[in-house]
Structure 1
C-alpha cells in the first residue's frame, strides 16, 4: 500500500520536475548565446576599431592635406575597409555597420565637394558646420552599450557628442532621404547601363503548369540557367504606405497555402534596390549570397533569386489532382508599398526617354514578367495617412511640435505642386522626380509620401495595365472594422482555401502591425492643416471615386 502511494506521488511530481529542468536548460542556452554574441562582437571589433579610428578621427582624416589628397587622387575611402559578410555572425551589428558605412561615405563625399569648392577662408567654417550638423560624421554604430560592451566608443572623444540611443540614430529620417548607393558592394551602379534595365524587351517566361504559382526550372532559355526551380510572386501588395499593408501581410503569411520569401515583407526591388538604393528590410548577408553567384542586381534574375526559399517551400508541398498528376498549390507574395508611387529614374529607362510622362511604370514591368499576377492595394484617407506616415518616418523626433512642423511642410509641398499644375498635367507632375528631389533637398520629411496620395493617377495607370479581375482594392476602414470578411474576400480573390474557425481566430488575434504609439497619437494634426489637405486632395478623391465607381473613395468621414 505504501509503495503504491509513493509511486503515485512520484508520478504526480514528475511533470513539475521536468518543467524545472526545462527552465534551467533554457536559461543555460540563453546565457550561452548571449556570451557567444558578445564574444563574436569582441573578436570582430578590434579590426574595425583600428581601421575606423585611423581613418575618421577629425584631427587626422579631415585635415586639409588629407581632404585635398582624397579629392585629387580619387582614392577610395574604404579601400582598407572591405566589407566581409562572414566577419561577424551578429546580423544586427552587421547591418548597422553596413548602413553607417554607406551613410558615412555619402556624407564625406559631400564634405569633400564643399571643401574643394570653398575658398581658403571658408574652408574652416564649412568643415565646422559639417562636423556639427552631419550625424554620420559625429557618430558611429559602435557607440554606447548596444552590443554588450560598455567601452565601444571607438571613435574617441574627438566627437562633438555621443549617441545616447543608436536605434533612434539608425532610424533617423535622413536615411530615407539619402540614396544609399551600394557602391562598396556592387560595381554595377558606377555607371547607368540601360540594357540592364530593359525588362520590356525581355523574352516572356514560360511557367510550369503543374504549379499554381508562376514557377519554372532554370534552363538555357531562362534568365537563370541552373536547373533549379525558381518562382516569382503569385500576388503583390503594392500599397498604399501606412494603410495597413504590413498588418495584412502579417496575417496572410499565416495561411497554410502561402509561402513567404526569406526577406521580411518587402524587397523594394522595382522602386529602390535595382537602382542601388538600399532597402532596409533586405538582409545584407542574403544580398551577398545572391551577388556571389554572379547575378546582376539590376536584372530580373536578381528579383527571381529573392524568392528561392519560397520556391523550395512551394516545391515541398505537392498534391495529386483528379488525374493522379502532381500539382503544387502553394503561392508566394511580394509586398512593397513603394511599388505604387516610387517610379525611380523612369525617365532614363528604355522606352521612356525624352518624354514628360512615363510610358512604362512598375505596373508594366510586373505585368511583363508575371502576366497573370494579382494585385492587392489598400487605400486610406490621404490626409490622415500622410500625417501618420510623418509621425512614423520622423520617429516622433519633433515631439509636441510635430503638428506645427508638419503644417509648414504641407504648405511648402502644396505650393510646389500647385505651381507645377499651372504648367503641366497632373500626371506629369505626379511622376516628376525632379520636383520630388527638390522637395527632399529642402529636408521635407513627407516629400515622397505626399506623392503617394494621388490615388486616381496611379489607379488609372494600374487599370490600363491589369484587368479589374486581377486587382483587389481594399479600404482601410473596411479592413479595420470588418477584418474577418475582408480576409475571406482576399482568400477568395487569391483562389486559396478558406481557413477553419480556430485558424481564423488565431489570425484575427494577432497583434496589429505598425500601429502608431499612444504617445504619437497624443500629437493630433492641426485642424487648419487638415482643412488645407482635404481641400487640396478633394478633386483627386472625386476623380478616384469616379474611377472606382464608389463614393467611399471621397473620404468624407
Structure 2
C-alpha cells in the first residue's frame, strides 16, 4: 500500500515538472516570436530584407538590441540612418548652475550606491574663490583645491597628447598628477569604473580634483596676481565615450540618457574652456586601430572595418543613433572604434549644455601644418600671454609626441577601405560642417 502511494506521488511530481517545463517553453516561444515580429516590422519600414537581417535577441534589463553577425562579402552603407538630434541649447540650460540644481534632482542623498558610483547632482558646486583664474576653493577642512581651467575633450588619435605637451611648455600652464600629465579619464571612464574594454576601481569626485594638488599648491599663494598659471584636464575620451550613461543614477530605467558628462561638468565647474581636435575620420580610425593593436595589417583592418560598419548599420535599423553610439555592447564587440569619427553626434550633446563660446575647434591636419600659429591661437583662447619668438619656435620644433609607430610598419590602408569609410562618414562630416559653419570639416581637401 505504501509503495503504491509513493509511486503515485512520484508520478504526480513528474507530471507537475513536465507541465511547468511545457508552460515555460510555450512562454519563451511566444516572447521570441513577438520580438522577431517587432524587428521585422522595423526593418520592413526601412525597406530592408527581413530574411537577410541578422537574428537579434533582447536581453533582460537591456534597452538595446543584441548584435551578433559576421562581416558580409559586400558591406552595404546605410549610414544615412544616423539621426542627428537637434541642438538643445536654450536659455534655461545656459543659466543652469548649482543654485538652480532642482532641474536635476539628487537621487542619492546618503552617498554613493552599492556600486560605488556617485550621483554628481548630489554634490553642490564648490564656492569658488575670487582672485583666481582657475576655479579654486577651500573644502570643509580648509584644504585648498583647484579644478581644471580647460579640458581637451578629444578626439583619440587626433593629436591631443602632442598639443597638451606643447601647452605645458608654456610657463603659465601647469601639469596634473595624471597619465602623460593630462589624462585622468574621470568623466568618461573612472567615475563608472570603466577602462578601454575592461573595468577598474570607481573613482570618487574628490579623487578627481585631488589630481590637481600639485598645481593647487603653486596657485594658492597667487590670489589677485596677474598672469596666474592654469591647469587643465586632457583625457580625449571625455568628449565622446558616454557608454557609462546607464550606470548614472540620473538615468536609471531610461532608454536614452537624460544626463551626460556635459551636464555634470556644467554643474560642478566654473566657465570651463574646451579644446577639440578632429582628424579626417577614416585616417583617425586606422591610426586608432593600429595604436590599440586590434590588428597589424591593412588587410585585417579592411575586414574589421567592414564588420564594424555592418554592426553599426544593423544597430541603426532598430535603435536610435544615441542608443547605438553610446552602447556598451557595441563598444565591447566592435573590432574597430568606428563610431568615434562621427564627431557631430557627440558635439551636439555638448552644445545642448554649453554655448559655442566655450569651445576651440581645430583640425589635426591644420595643427600639423602650422603648429606655431595654432599654438598662438590656443594661447589666446585660454587667455594666457603669447611667448617670445625664440621660445615659441623652441616649443613648435619639439618632436611629435605619442606617434603611432605601428602605422609605419603596417603601411597605409587599402584604397578600397578608405573609399568605404569615407562613404560611411560622409553624412557625419556634412552634419559637422553645418554644425560648425565651416566646410573644411568635410575634409574634401585631405
Query: Shared fold (TM-score greater than 0.5)?
Result: yes
1:236 aligns to what SS in structure 2?
A: strand
Contact 2:298 2:410 in 1 (8 A): no
Higher relative helix content: 1
1:333 aligns to what SS in structure 2?
A: strand
Contact 1:230 1:308 in 2 (8 A): yes
Q: Using a 3 Å threshold, how does the CA distance of structure 1 residues 309 and 487 change in structure 2: closer, same or farther?
A: same
In 2, the alpha carbon distance for the partners of 1:431 and 1:297 equals 20
Correspondence for 1:261: 176
1:271 aligns to what SS in structure 2?
A: helix
Deviation of 1:339 (Å):
0.6
> Is 1:301 matched with 2:200?
no
Deviations 1:295-352 (A, max 9, x none): x953311111111111112235x27xxxxx5567111011001112222421121221
Correspondence for 2:191: 274
Correspondence for 2:136: 215
In 1, the alpha carbon distance for the partners of 2:371 and 2:391 equals 14
Deviations 1:360-416 (A, max 9, x none): 112222221113000001000110000011111118x63xxx111111111111111
Q: How many residues align?
A: 331
In 2, the alpha carbon distance for the partners of 1:213 and 1:363 equals 19
Which stretches of structure 1, 4 residues or longer, exceed 6 Å deviation after superposition? none
Deviation of 1:535 (Å):
0.7
In 2, the alpha carbon distance for the partners of 1:454 and 1:535 equals 12
In 1, the alpha carbon distance for the partners of 2:225 and 2:405 equals 48
Contact 1:430 1:454 in 2 (8 A): no
In 2, the alpha carbon distance for the partners of 1:376 and 1:386 equals 20
Q: 1:200 aligns with which of 121, 142, 166?
A: 121
1:339 aligns to what SS in structure 2?
A: coil
In 1, the alpha carbon distance for the partners of 2:211 and 2:164 equals 17
Correspondence for 2:230: 331
Correspondence for 1:230: 145
5+ unaligned residues in a row in structure 2: which ranges?
1-110
2:361 aligns to what SS in structure 1?
A: strand
Q: Using a 3 Å threshold, how does the CA distance of structure 1 residues 434 and 297 change in structure 2: closer, same or farther?
A: closer
In 2, the alpha carbon distance for the partners of 1:300 and 1:344 equals 19
Structure 1 vs Structure 2 CA RMSD:
2.4
- 5 Å matches for 1:389-404? 389-394=288-293, 398=296, 402-404=297-299
Contact 2:112 2:119 in 1 (8 A): no
Deviation of 1:277 (Å):
3.8
> Is 1:542 matched with 2:439?
no
Correspondence for 1:409: 304
Contact 2:290 2:407 in 1 (8 A): no
Deviations 1:436-460 (A, max 9, x none): 2333xxxx2x2xx322111111111
1:243 aligns to what SS in structure 2?
A: coil
Q: 1:476 aligns with which of 364, 368, 389?
A: 364
> Is 1:312 matched with 2:210?
no
Q: Using a 3 Å threshold, how does the CA distance of structure 1 residues 190 and 458 change in structure 2: closer, same or farther?
A: closer
> Is 1:375 matched with 2:262?
no
Q: Using a 3 Å threshold, how does the CA distance of structure 1 residues 423 and 455 change in structure 2: closer, same or farther?
A: same
- 5 Å matches for 1:486-525? 486-517=374-405, 520=408, 523-525=411-413
Correspondence for 2:10: none
In 1, the alpha carbon distance for the partners of 2:250 and 2:217 equals 35
In 2, the alpha carbon distance for the partners of 1:391 and 1:278 equals 18
1:238 aligns to what SS in structure 2?
A: strand
Deviation of 1:275 (Å):
2.7
Identify which of structures 1 and 2 has the higher relative contact order when contacts are C-alpha pairs closer than 8 Å and 6+ apart: 2
Deviations 1:485-524 (A, max 9, x none): 2111101110111111111011111110122338626521
Deviation of 1:205 (Å):
1.4
5+ unaligned residues in a row in structure 1: which ranges?
1-187, 220-225, 285-295, 320-324
1:406 aligns to what SS in structure 2?
A: helix
